[in-house]
Amino acid sequence: MSKKNSRRQFLKAGIAVSTGLAASNAVADDDPLITQKQTWNQELGSGVDERPYGMPSPFEVDVKRRSVPWLTADPVSSINFTPLHELDGIITPNGLCFERHHGGVAEYDPSYHRLMINGLVDKELVFTMEDIMRFPRENRTYFLECAANSGMEWRGSQLNGCQFTHGMIHNVMYTGVPLRSLLEEAGIKSNGKWLLAEGADASGMTRSIPMEKALDDCLVAFKMNGESLRPEQGYPLRLVVPGWEGNMWIKWLRRIEVGDQPWHHREETSKYTDLLEDGRARRFTWVMDAKSVITNPSPQAPILHSKGPTILSGVAWSGRGTIPRVDVTIDGGKNWNMARMSGPSFDKSMHRFYYEFDWNGSDLLVQSRAHDSTGYVQPTKDELRSIRGENSIYHNNGIQTWHINAKGVAENVEIS
């Protein structure tokens, strides 16, 4: 009997759900349109020739990348954001992976693309795409996060939606050749300690990468989630630098130079360095520290029922390993609860967590706090500010707070 009761616990709330539906997007069960709209069993749908490459349902038109016009001077050197609040699991579909480029999207014909390796090598080499695909390849899933993700949060909550505060991240299964294999093919001279990776696009993007990382886990990738890279992600070839800031993952990769010291180019001096309170700048802050965010509910994704069983969902990641644990609070940090992790736990990959609770219908202050496999715990924004000040726009991995009101509407807030 007690087992039966426990089995019914959810049902009682389920009935409550039905009476609360007026506030939601769903249509009430007695709406005559339900029958009227459900005519598909009387009509043949479209055939198999109509979608050589398929697209989402027209009802999903709001599930899209969004940009913020005032954020940058020009859309060809700008950002759009992954709609994290519309996604689930850990894979970001290719069509929704945020874009960041500095000279617009180059559209390359892969038959004309070449990758050169030069500098301090035994033999300088030029590879065609087909040459590269003759090297043994690997399949690995990694998050890519822009160093500036959550950058607007340094000076307080400014953007109302996790798409904008945390959407400069995606998580993709790559297929590529270990960079190590190509470097060993060229033969690294004993004084070769650094690489310069160069993209073929108009921005002339270049970044210095230490040899130790290059030989560790970097990939020269040509596929994402099974298919060829998308143009905005560097088609036909990009560098994958697992766990490190996205700017180093050079797209439209055309050259790797081996040198004995870093190059100190624009994107690692004027940009992608962290300006501290005293005017000094942290440099070479490559690793993306552990971070998490609650994606549902969030400002773009309110709770649609009045109370009862409620699912809080979010993502967490670390550039230093896996995420064995995420804590969640619904009362602004008075009580922390361990979230349920669901889905694969890969090294330097996004992790999905859930926290299921019985909402009493009153205001909530929700936060998540990631623990990574090194033992590091995601800090508060104030803890970060006390060390780094508020001048930087990069590497803000502080804890995010959403206020949820009794109507289920969420807002970006800060609490001390």
Q: Which of 1, 22, 59, 362 binds a second copy (CB under 8 A)?
A: 59
> What is the C-alpha to C-alpha distance for residues 251 and 249, in angstroms, rounded to an integer?
6
> What is the C-alpha to C-alpha distance for residues 124 and 325, in angstroms, rounded to an integer?
46
> What is the C-alpha to C-alpha distance for residues 144 and 168, in angstroms, rounded to an integer?
8
**Residues between 256 and 295 with contacts to a second copy, criterion CB under 8 A:** none
The reply to whether 88 sits near a second copy by the rule CB under 8 A is yes
Block residue for tokens 């539906």? 21
Secondary structure letter of residue 111 according to DSSP: G
Count, residues near a second copy per rule CB under 8 A: 130
**Strand bridging mode 253-259 / 114-119:** parallel
* CB nearer a second copy, residue 237 or residue 384: 237
The tally of CA atoms less than 13 A away on the side-chain side of residue 137 is 16
The reply to whether 342 sits near a second copy by the rule CB under 8 A is yes
* CB nearer a second copy, residue 170 or residue 369: 170
**Residues between 354 and 383 with contacts to a second copy, criterion CB under 8 A:** 354, 356
**Residues between 144 and 173 with contacts to a second copy, criterion CB under 8 A:** 173
> What is the C-alpha to C-alpha distance for residues 406 and 85, in angstroms, rounded to an integer?
20
Pick the piece of the chain touching a second copy (CB under 8 A) from 54-62, 151-159, 285-293, 366-374. 54-62
* CB nearer a second copy, residue 328 or residue 384: 328
> What is the C-alpha to C-alpha distance for residues 330 and 150, in angstroms, rounded to an integer?
21
> What is the C-alpha to C-alpha distance for residues 258 and 217, in angstroms, rounded to an integer?
17
The reply to whether 133 sits near a second copy by the rule CB under 8 A is yes
**Smallest separation (angstroms) from a second copy to the CB of 2:** 15
The reply to whether 226 sits near a second copy by the rule CB under 8 A is yes
Q: Which of 155, 189, 282, 340 binds a second copy (CB under 8 A)?
A: 340
> What is the C-alpha to C-alpha distance for residues 221 and 251, in angstroms, rounded to an integer?
10
Assess contact for 373 and 318: CB atoms under 8 A: yes
The reply to whether 30 sits near a second copy by the rule CB under 8 A is no
Q: Which of 112, 261, 278, 362 binds a second copy (CB under 8 A)?
A: 112
**Smallest separation (angstroms) from a second copy to the CB of 278:** 34
* Token pair listed for 339: 């979230």
The reply to whether 344 sits near a second copy by the rule CB under 8 A is yes
Pick the piece of the chain touching a second copy (CB under 8 A) from 262-270, 272-280, 340-348, 389-397. 340-348
> What is the C-alpha to C-alpha distance for residues 91 and 171, in angstroms, rounded to an integer?
6
The reply to whether 45 sits near a second copy by the rule CB under 8 A is yes
Q: What is the DSSP string of 212-226?
A: HHHHHT-EEEEEETT
* CB nearer a second copy, residue 305 or residue 403: 305
Draw the binding track, 296-335, toward a second copy (x: CB under 8 A; -: no contact). Answer: --------xx--xxxx------------------------
Report residue 49: phi and psi, to 5°: -90, -5
